[in-house]
Chains A and B, each alone.
Chain A
């Protein structure tokens, strides 16, 4: 039966996370924005302790706490781990999208290990997150000459048969939390590299490089438009040697593009999560506008004909419509993920929509709030800067439109580039 009732546990999750967002994020938002590269340790320590207390190693759905006891009643409940993650990410990003990206525990790197790793690898790489110290991970795909076109990466991995080690060479850029994973904690990064440049997509594999590995160096920290609390770094790999066992998936190059496709599949889960983050920022901006209008005694009249509405009313109503539509696409995408239904189409739809909506809403909000919107006395101008990243990373708006278009048209990449 069609239902839009938010599951009770998620309502609780939202209440709890909202407290964190209000008390640990909003108060330091401005401070961290103005002091780029300062690390929000208080938030990090808190989240680390909190996730550990929940018996979970990370926010990743697959690692979420499992019920130990077999309770037949509970078992019948539909799975909601992805939906829970959505609520957490949306609410944390409503608090501060940059600080949210500093959440310790498994994120994108762990997602890749979970998706493609052996049980042994999962244990080796993922158990660290429940230790005493907060640990970070990262995912390094993008290179200076290869962003959207991930098949154009040139980082290489060559097997040294004598030592049974992979030797990696290349440069990765724009690695989110790369510094936290490699320098500020004993974490790891998942690096995408080619076993055979001639082989194109089918030669691409992912490798785990742990913090402290010689030949793997953070060389630059970017200065950005927004999400300044989150570090974005360049990493140079120079004869970086890692054990043979650090490859995720098959070590031989076959004709198939399974490894590459595996990477693309993890996007089906991660894209709606990025959408959720965008939605949080957009909601913050919309609520700010609504509060300021209420303070000024301006009522929004719903249900009257457009011809009678003020411009302001139309804009605010339009923002509400767009935000709710994007939210529902995202909920559905993650509900499908929870129910193990293939969701590539709606996952990309949610990212397209949320990325665009968040960008437009924050931009409109700054416009509608006039001098208040433009002022750094409020966080609105920051949300305008933060929101834009959601239309860029995890596939730009255009790349996600491509994915949606290929899906609805039944086209392969070669038919629609």
Chain B
């Protein structure tokens, strides 16, 4: 944070920065400094969004993308958290899968596209699968290290108070103690999901990505920008909602 600025001043500068950028962009195009075929006029974006909304196209592609996204994120998070926690709690399982994880981990989600198409065909499952991969790894590592770094003293407390069973320790110590780490992993996964959603749809699965590809082949850069902003808005909304839930769940923290 900058010294000597009030919140209002910071907001003012932020607004100035953003409008200045848009104004510069608009004027560069109007003055011919930038060729109009490369970027759209900012002032044309609201109108184009309105048309996409009127046609119902916006709702259709957003609905499709949201369903790929939700399935992918849900799947990736659930599996990532489950495998991460198991690895941290069960030494044998951890040792058994450690090398496999090290081998698979560096493979970027998009490298799975060929297999996704072979296994699922060009359909929503393929997109969800690709999205789930990146989300999986983020949740896996976050959960593993969250559980791994729990103060062993808590486990001793559980044992001293008759909660030595695996299930009791899992629900009464491991999960709540690791919750801050697990939840930040989930939040990072929510962001990672949006990064892959467009790419996963580029090869013909209906959704925001496909619509952007279509638009770019027609040089409709204004439509491309509409959907870039759509993704930004969706990401911000999900992130905000999750943050509210996260705060609520972690209200015990100082």
A binds B: no
